[in-house]
C-alpha cells in the first residue's frame, strides 16, 4: 500500500473537519502522541479507542507516517491561529510574550506535552516528510517570537543580549525543554515560574540597557536613567511588597 502524497495528506486533514470519524482519529492520535510519543502507540491502540477496525483506520490514513505528518500540520495550523489571535488582541509586547508562554502552560496543565516537542525527541526515527513538517512548526514559532522580541526591544520593553532571532531560538528551546522537566516532576507550576523568570529577565534587561546608555560622567554623579515605562516584572514585584 503506497503512502499518500503531501497534497493527499492535506486533503485528508480538510476532510477531518467534516468527517466525525477522521476528527475522532486525529483527536485520539494527538493525545497519544502528547502523552506517549509517536513511537509509543500503534494503530491497534487508536482503533480500539475510536471503536473502528484497523482496516478502517488504514482507509483514512494509509500509514502511520502519513497520520503523523497530518498531526504535525494540524497542530501547526492550530498554533498559527493562536498566534494570530494573540497578535490581534494583546497590544503590549511583554504581555504578548506571556500569552505565548501560556499556550505551553495550558497544554502542560492537561498533563500533555507540546506535540511537536514530543515528536522532536524522536526526530531520528521519523520519515522525511514528517521531519520537514516538524521544522515548519519550529520555524513558525521562532519567527513569530523573533519579531515580537525585536518589536519589544525597539519600544523599550525588552533588553536583548543577542539578536532577536538567536534570542527567539533560545526562548523556544527553553520552553520546550522546561516542559519536559516539569512533566518529570508532575509540576506545571515549575514550568510557570521558570517561564516567568525568562520573561522577567528580558524586561529587566531593558532597564539595564537604559542605565548603560547614560554618559559615563552622569553615571559617576549618580544620575540614573528613567526607563520609558515600568517593566512588567518590576510592577509585579512592587505589587507584592
Does domain 72-240 fall into CATH 3.20.20.60?
no
**Angle at which helices 128-155 and 164-184 pack, to 10 degrees?**
120
Whole-angstrom Cα distance, residue 61 to residue 211?
Answer: 58
Q: What is the pLDDT of residue 164?
A: 97
For the ranges 45-49, 67-71, 202-206, the lowest mean pLDDT is seen at 202-206
Query: Quick one: DSSP state of residue 92?
Result: S
Instruction: Give this prediction's pTM.
Output: 0.81
> Does residue 6 surpass a pLDDT of 80?
no
Query: How far is residue 68 from each of residues 6, 37, 182, measured CA to CA in Å?
Result: 12, 11, 25
CB of 142 within 8 A of CB of 100?
no
Residue 200 half-sphere exposure, CB side, CA atoms within 13 Å? 11
For 117-182, give the secondary structure using H, E and C.
Answer: HHHHCCHHHCCHHHHHHHHHHHHHHHHHHHHHHHHHHHHCCCCCCCCHHHHHHHHHHHHHHHHHHH
Q: What is the pLDDT of residue 213?
A: 41
Whole-angstrom Cα distance, residue 132 to residue 129?
Answer: 5
pLDDT digits (tens, 9 = 90+) for 112-154: 999 999 999 999 999 999 999 999 999 999 999 999 999 999 9
CB of 79 within 8 A of CB of 106?
no
> How remote is the C-alpha of 172 from its chain's centroid?
7
Q: What is the pLDDT of residue 205?
A: 67
**Angle at which helices 93-109 and 232-240 pack, to 10 degrees?**
70
pLDDT digits (tens, 9 = 90+) for 184-238: 999 999 999 999 999 999 998 665 544 444 444 444 445 444 444 555 555 555 5
Domain ranges (residues) in the chain = 72-240
Amino acid at each position: 500500500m503506497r503512502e499518500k502524497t503531501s497534497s493527499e495528506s492535506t486533503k485528508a486533514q480538510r476532510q477531518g473537519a467534516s468527517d466525525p470519524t477522521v476528527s475522532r482519529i486525529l483527536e485520539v492520535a494527538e493525545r497519544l502522541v502528547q502523552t506517549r510519543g509517536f513511537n509509543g502507540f500503534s494503530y491497534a491502540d487508536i482503533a480500539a479507542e475510536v471503536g473502528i477496525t484497523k482496516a478502517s483506520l488504514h482507509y483514512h490514513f494509509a500509514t502511520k507516517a502519513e497520520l503523523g505528518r497530518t498531526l504535525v500540520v494540524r497542530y501547526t495550523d492550530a498554533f498559527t491561529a493562536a498566534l494570530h489571535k494573540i497578535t490581534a488582541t494583546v497590544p503590549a509586547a511583554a504581555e504578548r510574550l506571556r500569552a505565548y508562554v501560556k499556550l505551553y502552560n495550558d497544554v502542560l496543565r492537561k498533563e500533555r506535552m507540546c506535540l511537536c516537542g514530543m515528536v522532536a525527541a524522536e526526530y531520528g526515527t521519523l520519515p522525511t516528510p514528517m521531519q520537514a513538517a516538524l521544522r515548519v512548526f519550529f520555524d513558525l514559532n521562532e519567527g513569530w517570537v523573533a519579531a515580537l522580541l525585536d518589536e519589544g526591544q525597539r519600544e523599550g520593553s525588552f533588553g536583548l543580549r543577542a539578536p532577536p532571532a538567536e534570542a527567539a531560538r533560545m526562548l523556544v528551546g527553553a520552553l520546550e525543554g522546561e516542559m519536559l522537566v516539569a512533566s518529570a516532576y508532575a509540576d506545571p507550576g515549575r514550568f510557570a515560574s521558570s517561564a516567568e523568570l525568562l520573561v522577567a529577565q528580558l524586561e529587566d534587561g531593558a532597564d539595564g540597557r537604559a542605565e548603560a546608555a547614560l554618559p559615563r560622567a552622569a553615571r559617576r554623579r549618580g544620575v540614573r536613567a528613567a526607563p520609558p515605562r515600568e517593566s512588567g516584572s518590576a510592577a509585579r514585584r512592587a505589587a507584592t511588597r
